[in-house]
Structures are given as C-alpha cells and as structure tokens.
Amino acid sequence: GAGVSQTPSNKVTEKGKYVELRCDPISGHTALYWYRQSLGQGPEFLIYFQGTGAADDSGLPNDRFFAVRPEGSVSTLKIQRTERGDSAVYLCASSLTGTGFNEQYFGPGTRLTVT
Amino acid sequence: AQTVTQSQPEMSVQEAETVTLSCTYDTSESDYYLFWYKQPPSRQMILVIRQEAYKQQNATENRFSVNFQKAAKSFSLKISDSQLGDAAMYFCAYRTFQGAQKLVFGQGTRLTINP
C-alpha cells in the first residue's frame, strides 16, 4: 500500500511569509508525528496527534508554528512569519496507534528554505 | 529529559567488511525502546532494528545486530558483510515505553561503503 506522503517536496519562501506543509499518513493510522531536521542534525520532535487532537505539542518551538489534523487523517503544519532559522527538512511519520509499540513510518519530508 | 549521543560523525568501511556504529543515551527510566534508523539521500527514514530495554537478548535482523548494554546505556549497531546499498546516514533513537510517543534522535553517523 501507499506510504506516508508529504507535499510539497521542496518549498522556497521569503522571510516573513506564511507556509503550509501537508502530510498524508498511511491509511488507517491514527497516530501522526511531525519532526524537524536541521542540516547535519537528527530529527527533532515537534508535535504528535492521536486522531484529531494534539496529544503532545511540546516540541513546537514558538507560537509561529501550528499544526492541525481536522479529520484525523491529513495533517497540515503551518508556519507564520517565517524566519531563516526555520529552514530545515520537515518530516512526518504515522503509526497504527499511539499506544504500545507501533512502528513509525516516515515520509520523504519537505525541504523548507527561507530566503 | 532523555538524550541520545552518537560520537562518530562519519564512518567508512570496505565492502563485505564489518562496521560498528556507536550510540549512548541518558535516561532515568527502566523501560524504553531503542532504534536504529537509516536515512538514504532520499531523506526517508527507514527502521533498521529495534530493541526493547526489558529484553536481555540483543536484537538481530539479517546482517544487522545490536550490542545493548543497559547498565552502560550503550546501544551499538553492527553491520556485517557491508554492501554498497548500506551507505546512508544512521540515526540512533530512543522512545519511552509508556506515555509520550516521540522519538529522541542522536546526531547521526554518515556511513560510507568503499568498493
């Protein structure tokens, strides 16, 4: 079956602009995660959804970052007033449920460049 | 908070030889999961192997095996019979056993396979 997909693959935006990054999880997966991977670093957790609700948003760096998952499937990560420091690869992952051990399957990421 | 450290930014190995990637972590928990992920240039994180902390037996998946030393908080990955397709970034990751589902990643090790 289809894996996790993310669009766009690459996004270039100017400083101060608003961007939306989309994640389509594997069908039937109730848990969805966003991570941010800066150049030369490992991914850092941003937010975790169980169904439609954000179960853990402790990784969001500030109030410019917001994510939604209104129907419990597709999720959108929204970044307002982008800054050059927001440049990174944004990875999305999904798992069957958020409890017990369930493997997280990752998408290919969106590379965001803020100029 | 848990931390994961990979002290080898880069490693190289001859094709068909064996290589070991190091990982240490810090936690006050007694139950948790540890993972090794592979990230090729396509950016998609792929699960290589996992270890449950309550299991004393080291996990093995074909050519990949781990050396899990719980008391030392060490979790190394051994790749036997290295193949050109093994070239990638490798990330060690930690996940708590219950509660928060987020993965905590190390900084990564870039593995090069020399033909």
Shortest CA gap A58–chain B (Å) = 10
Subunit contact A33:B93, Cβ cutoff 8 A: no
Subunit contact A42:B42, Cβ cutoff 8 A: no
Helix, strand or coil for residue B41? coil
Burial of residue B71 (CB within 10 Å: 0-12, 13-18, 19+) is exposed
At A88, is the pLDDT very low, low, confident or very high (cuts 50, 70, 90)? very high
Name chain A contacts of B42, Cβ cutoff 8 Å: 108
Subunit contact A42:B47, Cβ cutoff 8 A: no
Subunit contact A93:B45, Cβ cutoff 8 A: yes
Along the 115 residues of chain B, how does pLDDT read in single tens digits?
899 999 999 999 999 999 999 999 999 998 999 999 999 988 999 999 999 999 989 999 999 999 999 999 999 999 999 999 999 999 999 998 877 789 999 999 999 999 9
Identify how many contiguous H helices and E strands chain B contains and give both numbers. 0, 12
**Is A41 part of the contact surface with chain B (CB cutoff 8 Å)?**
yes
